Homo-oligomer: A and B are copies of this chain.
Amino acid sequence: MTTTGRQLVSNLTADGKMTLALEEKTFPAPTGNQVLVKMEAAPINPSDLFLMTAGADLENAEYSPGKIEMQLHPQVAAGQASRHGKPQTVGNEGAGTVIAAGDGEMAQALMGQRVACVPGNAFSEYALADAMMCIPLGDHTAEQGASSFVNPMTALGFVETAKREGHDAIIHAAAASNLGQMLNRICQEDDVALVNIVRKDSQAELLRGQGASHVVNSSDDDFEKQLAGAIGETRAFLGFDPIGGGQTTDTCLRAMERVAAAEMTEYSRYGSDQPKKMYIYGRLDLSPTILTPSYGFGWTVSGWLLMPFLASCDMQTLMGLRQRVVSGLTSTFASSYKTRVNLEEMLTKDAIMDYAQMKTGEKYLVTPHD
């Protein structure tokens, strides 16, 4: 038995024409440990947006019902040569109800249940998902469970990464995001010191209201001094940066070195011995990362991605993280949304020009069957 529904597909051609459109798709019956999920809610995460817009000029795109046609800068299009002509489904995660299941035991056990899943085509009426990766939501609503994978696992992954590398303090940039708020709660629960970097007073107040001890505002004149002060107090020589482009990572490394250098008894042309590390886990800013030669040679900048992190965990750790997420869905791991859109509405100019800005606290939720 097959099921038919609409799903969002992104297409990019070699000449830079990008199309985002709803397409009718026939989903085959699930086999083995697959389940077919009727998708009820899916968040638009920054990690989805790159595939959807790739920084295209949205103001001058062509909009028609269920379709957006954009033109990419030739250089940007060339940089993504490996996806030319290969239609991409969109939507990392979401929640819905299992309406069909393969013969596998794990799949059968989920039949009829509401689950969170990571199908890669969450912006769709239906999605085939791996039962292994589904999280049963119990009595939680689809909206409560829609964001139970990417942000919670990423935030938990930061703390796990820090612990593995021997740190008990971390810096987080763009810290007022849904993810940042989660991380703030997790760090308080786990007694990890967290230096939150925000860019508005309102964001600083939000985090302080949620118990954050260290919040620094990059718009303040003495930001770098504040940041160094917080690093000095917490000993946070490891940080996570979702912005990527520009100088956020550089600024953190400079502040770390400023703290370490102040503690040196003599000058070294090579900088301090203090290892300093920043992970870039997103590209909210697609411009190049700028690293100035101002912190010697004791530094590392590295990409951080959820899937390789999860692959590095043993099964017991993974099950522990998952269990922790489910039991905290309405507290530690709660997400909030600015608005809800259905599949057609998410392709309107007003909507995409708003959510593509990825403003803090203004996340969209897609409800495919509304």
Interface positions of A (Cβ within 8 A of B): 47, 50-51, 79, 82-83, 86, 88, 244-245, 250, 261, 264, 266-267, 269-270, 273, 280-281, 283, 286-294, 296-305, 307-308
Contacts of A303 in B (CB 8 A): 296-300
Tell me the smallest distance from the CB of A13 to a CB of chain B, in Å.
14
> Is B298 a contact of A288 with CB atoms below 8 Å?
no
Closest 8 CB pairs of A and B: A297-B303, A300-B302, A289-B291, A297-B305, A83-B267, A288-B292, A288-B290, A51-B269
> Is B82 a contact of A261 with CB atoms below 8 Å?
yes
> Is A308 a contact of B51 with CB atoms below 8 Å?
no
> Is A308 a contact of B273 with CB atoms below 8 Å?
yes
Tell me what chain A mostly uses at the interface: helix, strand, loop, or mixed. mixed
Cβ-closest chain B residue relative to A298? B303
Contacts of A281 in B (CB 8 A): 297
Q: List 15 A-B contacts (CB under 8 A).
A: A79-B294, A82-B264, A86-B266, A245-B293, A270-B305, A270-B307, A273-B308, A288-B293, A296-B303, A296-B305, A297-B304, A297-B305, A298-B305, A301-B301, A302-B302
A302 to B266, CA, bound (A): 24
A301-B300 CB under 8 A given contacts A266-B86, A289-B291? yes
> Is A302 a contact of B301 with CB atoms below 8 Å?
yes
A31 to B15, CA, bound (A): 73
Tell me the smallest distance from the CB of A5 to a CB of chain B, in Å.
23
> Is A290 a contact of B293 with CB atoms below 8 Å?
no
A52 to B261, CA, bound (A): 20
Contacts of A289 in B (CB 8 A): 290-293
A292 to B244, CA, bound (A): 10
Contacts of A264 in B (CB 8 A): 82
A264 to B80, CA, bound (A): 13
A305 to B300, CA, bound (A): 12
A282 to B286, CA, bound (A): 27
Cβ-closest chain B residue relative to A85? B267
> Is A302 a contact of B299 with CB atoms below 8 Å?
yes
* A79, A261, A264, A281 interface centre (most CB from chain B within 10 Å): A79
Contacts of A299 in B (CB 8 A): 302-303
Tell me the smallest distance from the CB of A87 to a CB of chain B, in Å.
10
